[in-house]
Amino acid sequence: MKSIRVVLALAGLLVFAGCASVPSPEEVGKLPVVRFGEAVPAGGEYILYFPPDTPIRTNVSIKGNIFAKEAEQPLSVTLKRGIYAYKTWVSYDGVSWQSGRKTIHADVVVKIPGYGHPEPGTVAIRLDDRG
C-alpha cells in the first residue's frame, strides 16, 4: 500500500533485511557519512547520519480520485540522540554496530475508515530503543 510506504520513509533507517555479519570497523571506516537531507553519493555505499535535535520530515498524504478534498501535511520529529544507519545496521556512536531490528522496535499502524473501522482513520508510527 502506497500510504504505508510513505509512512515508513521516516523509518528508513530500519530496513529489515536478512541477517548478515556486523560490518567491520575497516568496512564502515572507509565510507562517507552523509547527514540526513544531504545528497547521497551516486551508486556508492555510505553511512546515513540522523543528528539529534534536527528535524526529520515525513510527508503524509491522503489522495485519490474518490475525494473532493485531498490532504497533505508534513510532520517533523527530532531524535534524542544521533543515529547512524548502514544498510540494516544502526549505531549510536558510528563505531559499534548492531542489527536495526535488535536495536530499535518499530510499530506501524494504518487504519482506514470503513465498514470494519467506522471511526476516524489512524496513521501511527512508534519507534522505541530496545536498550
| Chain segment 23-78, per-residue pLDDT in tens | 888 889 899 999 999 999 998 899 999 999 999 999 999 999 999 999 999 999 99
Cβ proximity of 11 and 125 under 8 Å: yes
Question: pTM for the complete prediction?
Answer: 0.78
Q: What are the C-alpha distances in Å from 106 to residues 5, 8, 41, 101?
A: 14, 10, 27, 8
Nearest CA among 84, 124, 78 for reference residue 103:
84
What is the C-alpha separation between 58 and 56, in angstroms, rounded? 7
pLDDT digits (tens, 9 = 90+) for 86-109: 999 999 999 999 999 999 999 999
H helix intervals, the chain = 2-8, 25-29, 100-103
DSSP 3-state assignment of 6? helix
